[in-house]
Chains A and B, each alone.
Chain A
Amino acid sequence: MKTDRLIAPGLVILILVFWEGITHLLEIPVFILPPPTRIFAAAIHKAPLILPHAATTLSEIVLGIVLALATAIPLAIAMFAKPELEKALAPFLVASQAIPVFAIAPLLVVWMGYGIASKVFMAWIIIFFPITISLLAGFKSCDPEFRVMFRLMGASFYDRLTLLYWPWALPQFFAGLRVGVTVATIGAVIGEWVGAQQGLGYLMIQSNARLQTDLVFAAILWLAAMGLGMWVLVGLLEKKFVQWK
């Protein structure tokens, strides 16, 4: 049990040590592959430069998530309440997933400009699908015997939704949200790569062009930390709202 827990951090340390050693041993130029110590140093020393960019990216992601929740939840409920609606919309939802978001990123910048709107939109369309689908699947997974019981009670749709289906679907909803928050980062960064004035993606492109590779890695490190932070936050929310599991 104790050794199990040590495997993951041990592996990370092993990789970092190997990385550090090989850059010094082979004298790899810093602009090709900086050693981890240098990346950590850059991430901390250049924080005043990185932080505003990180804040921009984070706000894009959070706005994207909020927008996705505000649209995915009502849509999932509507599709659950009216199966005809699900039948009508399902092909479009699946088709929307067949289009790679990266392909339309340049268009979004043309349409919505260099500001955060195009990135929020990118994040939104990426997260929207997993949340809708997982929530709908959660509603549908409800045991038919419970449905019968609620029907015999003469419960209204609102009551069935709030007392039965919503709590029933919560674990699956959180599973979808978990996937959503991690991939939302991808959406925001790609949007910034294509065209932006702020954000970690923008910083990476700029630093890459100037061969400031340590700064590129530092930006990636911050991005990873943000993604991990949101993952943990969703996990905490799940623990709070799904205590019975």
Chain B
Amino acid sequence: MLQVSGATKFYNRQPIFSDLDLVVDPGQFKVLVGPSGCGKSTLFDGLTGVMALDKGMISWKNKKVAHLGRHAAYMQQKDLLLPWFSLLDNALLPARTGRQDMARMQLAAQKLFVRLGLNGYESHYPHEVSGGMRQRCALVRTLMFNRDLILLDEPLSALDAITRRSLQSLLLLLQTEFKKTILMITHDIEEALLLADEICLLSPQPMTIKERFVLNQPKPRHFSNPALVKIKAYMLEQLEKDLTCENR
């Protein structure tokens, strides 16, 4: 579905990443895990066309594209809700700018509000609700983009641990219920283990894919699963190795 090959980006002549290859299959939940500041967000900027890659090719459904600006929806750590619109109007923004049938889209958005636990908050304004609610609304808006691929850039890292757990199960819905293909960045290993079909462990400077883990365990998963515990311990060890290299 998505294929990135040879992606390279320099900053001040230093490669942030070079010759990075990435394949995401239809319906897959793929997670990139790496330490903060290793260039994960820069990769997403390159994919979404915020800035051009210095080298590399992106192909979408077997067609070469400059970027995924028209093919992917994007959700970030910041909810990016507009304070002058109600939650429902915020969620409807993609439909509105996309000149879609508003009556139909309104119905669709309302259904999503119910499904994602925002029922009754349609006419609230962003500053009136909690961070978790706001992020749920951002999630509805992301779905309203109506695109097959969803890019998630640490979408939950601004939330407290308890809120994060409940939203993780909603992220899982993206795959199981809404049949989306997902590419997510996170530095939260547990989050990755709960959600991913495949985890790419990244190493910093320049960012490379160090190791891949295919997870076949059925979802929803639980941490107590011994296989997951083992992978987690191994990944932590690897990440720590990178950090000690860096400090030397």
Contacts and interface: CB of A to CB of B under 8 A. Distances in A.
Chain B CB within 10 A, most for which of A149, A156, A167, A243: A149
A167 B84 contact: yes
Contacts of B127: 244
Determine chain A's interface SS by DSSP, over half rule: helix
Interface in A147-180: 148-156, 159, 163-164, 167
A151 B145 CA distance: 12
B80 A154 contact: no
A153 B84 contact: no
B98 A154 contact: yes
A102 interface: no
A149 B80 contact: yes
A209 to B, nearest CB: 53
Contact of A156 (B69, B80, B97, B145): B97
B94 interface: yes
Contact of A153 (B76, B83, B145): B145
Interface in B70-100: 70, 72-74, 76, 78, 80, 82-84, 93-94, 96-98
Nearest to B74: A152
A27 interface: no
A163 B82 contact: yes
Contacts, number: 45
B208 interface: no
Contacts of A148: 48, 50, 74
Interface string A79-104: 00000000000000000000000000
A244 B82 CA distance: 10
Contact of B83 (A149, A159, A244): A244
Given A159-B97, A244-B125, A152 B48 contact: yes
B93 A153 contact: yes
Interface residues of B, number: 22
A145 B76 contact: yes
Contacts of A245: 83
A143 to B, nearest CB: 8
A31 interface: no
A154 B70 contact: yes
Interface string A120-153: 0000000000000000000000000110111111
Given A151-B69, A153-B93, A244-B127, A167 B98 contact: no
Residue from A152, A156, A243, A244 having most chain B Cβ neighbours under 10 A: A152
A145 B78 contact: yes
Given A159-B96, A163-B93, A149 B70 contact: no
Given A146-B82, A151-B49, A153-B93, 10 more contacts: A148-B50, A148-B74, A149-B74, A152-B69, A152-B72, A153-B94, A163-B93, A163-B96, A167-B84, A245-B83
Interface of B: 48-50, 69-70, 72-74, 76, 78, 80, 82-84, 93-94, 96-98, 125, 127, 145
23 contacts: A145-B76, A145-B80, A148-B48, A148-B50, A148-B74, A149-B74, A150-B97, A152-B69, A152-B72, A152-B73, A152-B145, A153-B93, A153-B94, A153-B97, A153-B145, A154-B97, A154-B98, A159-B96, A163-B82, A163-B97, A164-B82, A243-B84, A244-B125
